[in-house]
C-alpha cells in the first residue's frame, strides 16, 4: 500500500512570539516493511535554522529555530510512504515470566535495546494497579506476545474511547479508574501493565488509515495521529499491537517514532518567548494511492 501523507500543525498566538525553538518528530521511520519514497518539511515563518538528526531511539528529528516576530506558525510535513506486509508473527515462544531475567544477560543488540523498556519512564510508571489488571492475562506457559494479545483484547472490551475524558498529561492511574480515554491513554495503560509484570513494551506514534462512512467523501484534514505499542519477546522479537482497535499493526499503519512513552515521541515540542495564550490545531490526511491518483485525474 502506498499513501500520500500530509500533517499540518497551526499555532495561533494572542500576542507576538519573538523566538521559538522546536523539535519536530513528523517524518516516518525507514523500516523493513516501510519505505519513505518522498518527504518534505515546510515551516512558516521561514526558520533561521532548520536541521535534522536521528535521536537516541532512531527517530527522525528536525530542529527549527524561528527568530522573527509572528503570531501564526505553520508546520507541514508531506510524505509518500510505501507500506509492505510485515513478517508473520510467531506467538509461541519464551514464557512471559522469564523474559526480564533473560534480558538481564542479553548480549544481542536487540535484547539490550529491549531491556530498557522494562522500567519506569517519565510518562509511564509500573503500578500495583496495573499489575493487578494485567495478572488475569498472565497464564502459565504463555509467551509475552500471547499475554499481550489477551491484555489488548481486555483493554478494548473494558475501556471506552472518549476524547473528553483525559488530557495529554492524564496519568495511567486515572485512566484505570475512569475506564475511558483515547489511543495515547490505552497505549500508556498497556505499557504500564506489561512492564509491571516484567515484559518490555514501547510506545509507538504514527497514523492509521481511516475510512469514511459509506457513500461519503473523505474529509480533508479529518484523519489524526495515532498511538499503539510494541511488545518484545526473546527469539520472536517485537510485535506491534493496537489496543484502541484490538488488532495487530498491518499495512494500514504508518510508523513515525517510538520511545518509552509519549514524551519521547511528541510530534512538536519546544520553547518560545512571548505568545500569550495560544491554540494548536492539527490537520492530517492519510490518502491511499488509488484515491489521490483518481483525484489528480479528475482535476486534469
Do the beta carbons of residue 13 and residue 276 sit within 8 Å?
yes
Tell me, yes or no, whether 220 lies in a domain.
yes
* 100 and 216 assigned to the same domain: yes
Tell me how far apart the alpha carbons of residues 283 and 279 are, in angstroms, rounded to a whole number: 13
Tell me how far apart the alpha carbons of residues 246 and 187 are, in angstroms, rounded to a whole number: 11
Do the beta carbons of residue 112 and residue 106 sit within 8 Å?
yes
Number of domains in the chain: 2
Cell of 209: 488509515
Give the pLDDT confidence of 134-155 residue by residue, as tens digits: 999 999 999 999 999 999 999 9
Tell me, yes or no, whether 21 lies in a domain.
yes
* 164 and 289 assigned to the same domain: no
* 270 and 194 assigned to the same domain: no
* 206 and 231 assigned to the same domain: yes
Tell me the percentage of the chain whose pLDDT exceeds 90. Answer: 82
Of the candidate ranges 8-12, 87-91, 157-161, 251-255, the one whose mean pLDDT is the lowest: 87-91
* 139 and 198 assigned to the same domain: yes
Give the pLDDT confidence of 203-247 residue by residue, as tens digits: 999 999 887 666 666 555 457 899 999 999 998 999 999 999 999
* 161 and 273 assigned to the same domain: no
* 153 and 213 assigned to the same domain: yes
Domain range for residue 125?
96-249
Tell me, yes or no, whether 258 lies in a domain.
no
Tell me how far apart the alpha carbons of residues 230 and 281 are, in angstroms, rounded to a whole number: 28
* 124 and 212 assigned to the same domain: yes
DSSP 40-63: EEEEESPPSEEEEEE-TTS-EEEE
Tell me, yes or no, whether 90 lies in a domain.
no
pTM over 0.95: no
* 151 and 123 assigned to the same domain: yes
* 101 and 52 assigned to the same domain: no
Q: What is the CATH number of the domain that holds 64?
A: 2.60.40.2250
* 276 and 237 assigned to the same domain: no
Amino acid at each position: 500500500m502506498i499513501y500520500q501523507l500530509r500533517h499540518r500543525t497551526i499555532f495561533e498566538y494572542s500576542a507576538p512570539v519573538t523566538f521559538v525553538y522546536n523539535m519536530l518528530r513528523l517524518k516516518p521511520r525507514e523500516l523493513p516493511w516501510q519505505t519513505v519514497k518522498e518527504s518534505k518539511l515546510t515551516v512558516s515563518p521561514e526558520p533561521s535554522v532548520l536541521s535534522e538528526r536521528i535521536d537516541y531511539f532512531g527517530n527522525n528529528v528536525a530542529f527549527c529555530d524561528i527568530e522573527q516576530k509572528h503570531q501564526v506558525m505553520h508546520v507541514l510535513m508531506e510524505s509518500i510512504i510505501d507500506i509492505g506486509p510485515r513478517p508473520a508473527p510467531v506467538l509461541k515462544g519464551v514464557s512471559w515470566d522469564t523474559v526480564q531475567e533473560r534480558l538481564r544477560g542479553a548480549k544481542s543488540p536487540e535484547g539490550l535495546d529491549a531491556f530498557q523498556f522494562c522500567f519506569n519512564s517519565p510518562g509511564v510508571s509500573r503500578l500495583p494497579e496495573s499489575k493487578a489488571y494485567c495478572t488475569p492475562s498472565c497464564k502459565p506457559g504463555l509467551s509475552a506476545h500471547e499475554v499481550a494479545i489477551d491484555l489488548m483484547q481486555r483493554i478494548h472490551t473494558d475501556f471506552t474511547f472518549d476524547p473528553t475524558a483525559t488530557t495529554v498529561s492524564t496519568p495511567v492511574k486515572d485512566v484505570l479508574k475512569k475506564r475511558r480515554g483515547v489511543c495515547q491513554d490505552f497505549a500508556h495503560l498497556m505499557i504500564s501493565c506489561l512492564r509491571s509484570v516484567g515484559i518490555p513494551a514501547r510506545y509507538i506514534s504514527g497514523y492509521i488509515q481511516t475510512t469514511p462512512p459509506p457513500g461519503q467523501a473523505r474529509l480533508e484534514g479529518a484523519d489524526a495521529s495515532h498511538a499503539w505499542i510494541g511488545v518484545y519477546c526473546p527469539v520472536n522479537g517485537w510485535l506491534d499491537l493496537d489496543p484502541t482497535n484490538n488488532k495487530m499493526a498491518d499495512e494500514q499503519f504508518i510508523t513515525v517514532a517510538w520511545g518509552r512513552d509519549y514524551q519521547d515521541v511528541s510530534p512538536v515540542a519546544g520553547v518560545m518567548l512571548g505568545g500569550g495564550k495560544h491554540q494548536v490545531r492539527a490537520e492530517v490526511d492519510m490518502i491511499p494511492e488509488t484515491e489521490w491518483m483518481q483525484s489528480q485525474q479528475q482535476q486534469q
